[in-house]
Amino acid sequence: MQMKRIDRIQYVDVGFSGAPCSVQGFTTRHEGVSRPPYNSLNLGMNTQDQQPTVEGNRSLLTRAFGINQEALVAPRQVHGCDILVINEPNEDYSHFLSVEGDAVITNQPNVMIGVCVADCVPIVLCDPEKKVVAVVHAGWKGTAAGLVAKTVAGMKSEFGCNPANVQAAIGPCIQKCCYEVDEPVRKAFLHGGIEWDVCAELKSPGSWQLDLTIANRELLVLAGVSADSIQVSDQCVCCHSEQFFSYRRDKDDSGRQMGFIMLKA
């Protein structure tokens, strides 16, 4: 992964090997039109920023990559396990904005799919053989429920993807250094079958430092994705206020960055 700029958009680019993708990466907070405290490229509709301003930021993002804003699919995220599958062309994809879901899979070209995050893990997936892409929003609830593994399984069941051919990138998120969780989170992970000791470190009685990046990487490997095909960002959004939004750091004053991917026509 490396920082790139296209038009006014500064983003962390993901270079999937041989992938039929024209766009894939993770935005930063720079070069948008939102005013403080959401300055400046806030892409989250579920913030207290003005909606026309957020729409303006989304338009900047889509125009930078040569598509209309109506071709951006970013569903209403609810920290659940519903996966939106888009398997046919639409004249206007904006109606998907009201659909609840925390992951999107598609085989349609020139459709940008995205998830908004402030601390949670954004994950982009691509199968270059079947020309299928996906994006996942994984907070602790989605991680404990194995959402990214379910998304890989969905790519297989819906489009015949072989998990061994899937490439993955885990984007900037809150890292272990800033993410302290309690017993209910530990129980949810244990119930979901994730090895707690692999991704968490005891800080004090009843309190752990949780590494969502490691947890989701393990889920991808268990789902059949090759470890060599998984890119991982080590950037902590909570530590880097100059570059990223973080809800844990800024609470309701936080905007949202986006993980996104789009197939070539």
Reported confidence tier of residue 220, pLDDT bands at 50, 70, 90: very high
pLDDT at residue 93 is higher than 90: no
pLDDT at residue 21 is higher than 90: no
Q: What is the CATH number of domain 2-263?
A: 3.60.140.10
pLDDT tens-digit profile of 140-153? 999 999 999 999 99
Cα 112–Cα 107–Cα 142 angle in degrees, nearest 5: 70
Reported confidence tier of residue 22, pLDDT bands at 50, 70, 90: confident
What's the order of all strands across the beta sheet hosting 83-86?
Answer: 83-86, 103-106, 132-138, 121-127, 167-170, 230-232
pLDDT at residue 199 is higher than 80: yes
Mean pLDDT, rounded, of the chain: 93
Cα 44–Cα 241–Cα 179 angle in degrees, nearest 5: 85
Domain ranges of the chain: 2-263
Alpha-carbon distance of 99 to 69, in angstroms, equals 17
pLDDT for residue 12 = 94
Q: What is the DSSP string of the chain?
A: -EEEEETTEEEEE---TT--EEEEEEE-S-S--PPTTS-S----TTSSS-HHHHHHHHHHHHHHTT--GGGEE--B--SS--EEEE-S--S--GGGGGSB-SEEEE--BT-EEEEEESSSEEEEEEETTTTEEEEEEE-HHHHHTTHHHHHHHHHHHHH---GGG-EEEE--B--GGG-EE-HHHHHHHHHTT--HHHHEEEEETTEEEE-HHHHHHHHHHHTT--GGGEEE---BTTT-TTT---HHHHGGG---EEEEEEE--
pLDDT for residue 218 = 94
pLDDT tens-digit profile of 225-243? 999 999 999 999 999 999 9
